[in-house]
């Protein structure tokens, strides 16, 4: 999969691309990320990419010509001829639809994604209409620029690509994961990250067994895989109910899950 990022701060992405999972994915050729300096598409010697807003008001707006030329230089088909199931141009915007794990899964199925990073008061709206397949927001707050949003999208999407995470299952069985098939038999050891099935992940522990007077939950060191599995599911349900009750609406819940939730609610 290939990402092209268009920005006035190309150096912003050095840290994202130089560390951890993404650095290894790039080195292994599993993902390609190209960063393009929007100022390279400016038309004057001051490399101007912004101008005052029509109608007056605060701040500056990114001009349409450099952005259009930057996208066209990438050999992307015009919007009317583009197949959005293969390639998309996406505008980062606080006014966009919310970027979620489900959207990350959608993007991970594409061959190519071009991300336009806004700055100042935003981007001339004609860029959105003429060039972009969608607008995405990474959350309900206003950032100074689209670069952080683009970094979030590249990271969350790339780690879903086959082979990027060492353990294929690990992107499936974590917070917001889809399927929760569970292990084939109850006697099998639980997967290191046991399915979340639309819930938040359960809490994780490692050594030491006791830290500042706090012991690791006993069930995790007793080798009873079925009990561990049950405990983890209960914890995932409890955490989701406490922190993100909205996720319970869309989660796959078994009869046992519903009983656990009923108990939690009755204790509250």
The residues binding ligand SAM (CB under 6 A) are 92-95, 117-119, 121-123, 137-139, 141-146, 149
Helix (H) or strand (E) holding 62: strand 61-62
User: Min. distance of Cβ 147 from ligand SAM in angstroms?
Assistant: 8
What are the phi and psi torsion angles at 98 (to 5°)?
-70, 130
Question: Which of residues 93 and 157 has its CB atom nearest to ligand SAM in the complex?
Answer: 93
Question: Which of residues 144 and 266 has its CB atom nearest to ligand SAM in the complex?
Answer: 144
Question: Which of residues 38 and 238 has its CB atom nearest to ligand SAM in the complex?
Answer: 38
Q: Among all residues, whose Cβ is closest to ligand SAM?
A: 118
Upstream peptide bond of 209 is cis (omega within 30 degrees of 0): no
Question: Which of residues 10 and 122 has its CB atom nearest to ligand SAM in the complex?
Answer: 122
Question: Which of residues 5 and 237 has its CB atom nearest to ligand SAM in the complex?
Answer: 5
Residue linked to tokens 């399927």: 179
As beta bridge partners, residue 6 has 36, 116
How many whole angstroms separate alpha carbon 250 and alpha carbon 149?
A: 25
User: Min. distance of Cβ 212 from ligand SAM in angstroms?
Assistant: 37
SS3 231: helix
User: Min. distance of Cβ 19 from ligand SAM in angstroms?
Assistant: 22
Max CA distance (Å), the chain = 70
Helix boundaries (H) for the chain: 14-17, 20-27, 64-73, 101-108, 125-131, 147-158, 225-243, 255-267
User: Min. distance of Cβ 96 from ligand SAM in angstroms?
Assistant: 6
Question: Which of residues 143 and 216 has its CB atom nearest to ligand SAM in the complex?
Answer: 143
What single DSSP character describes residue 179? Answer: -
As beta bridge partners, residue 104 has none
Question: Which of residues 120 and 248 has its CB atom nearest to ligand SAM in the complex?
Answer: 120
User: Min. distance of Cβ 4 from ligand SAM in angstroms?
Assistant: 15
As beta bridge partners, residue 34 has 4
How many whole angstroms separate alpha carbon 267 and alpha carbon 38?
A: 56
User: Min. distance of Cβ 157 from ligand SAM in angstroms?
Assistant: 15
How many whole angstroms separate alpha carbon 108 and alpha carbon 126?
A: 27
User: Min. distance of Cβ 144 from ligand SAM in angstroms?
Assistant: 5
- Residue 20: exposed, middle, or buried by beta-carbon count in 10 A (0-12, 13-18, 19+)? exposed
User: Min. distance of Cβ 6 from ligand SAM in angstroms?
Assistant: 11
């Amino acid at each position: 999969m290939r990402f092209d990022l268009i920005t006035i701060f190309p150096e912003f992405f050095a840290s994202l691309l130089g560390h951890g999972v993404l650095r290894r994915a790039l080195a292994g050729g599993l993902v390609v990320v190209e960063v393009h300096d929007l100022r390279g598409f400016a038309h004057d010697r001051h490399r101007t990419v912004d101008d005052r807003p029509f109608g007056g008001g605060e701040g500056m707006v990114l001009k349409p010509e450099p952005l259009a030329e930057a996208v066209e230089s990438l050999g992307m088909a015009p919007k009317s001829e583009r197949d959005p199931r293969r390639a998309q141009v996406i505008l980062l915007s606080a006014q966009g639809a919310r970027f979620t794990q489900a959207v990350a899964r959608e993007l991970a199925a594409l061959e190519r994604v071009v991300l336009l990073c806004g700055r100042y008061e935003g981007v001339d709206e004609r860029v959105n209409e003429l060039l972009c397949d969608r607008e995405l927001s990474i959350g309900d707050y206003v950032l100074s620029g689209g670069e952080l949003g683009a970094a979030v999208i590249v990271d969350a999407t790339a780690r879903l690509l086959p082979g990027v995470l060492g353990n294929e299952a690990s992107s499936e069985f974590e917070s917001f994961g889809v399927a929760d098939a569970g292990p084939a038999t109850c006697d099998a050891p639980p997967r290191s990250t046991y399915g979340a099935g639309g819930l938040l992940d359960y809490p994780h522990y490692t050594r030491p067994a006791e830290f500042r007077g706090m012991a690791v939950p006993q069930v995790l060191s007793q080798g009873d895989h079925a009990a561990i599995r049950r405990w983890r599911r209960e914890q995932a349900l409890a955490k989701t109910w406490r922190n993100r009750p909205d996720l319970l609406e869309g989660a796959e819940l078994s009869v046992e899950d519903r009983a656990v939730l009923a108990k939690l609610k009755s204790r509250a």
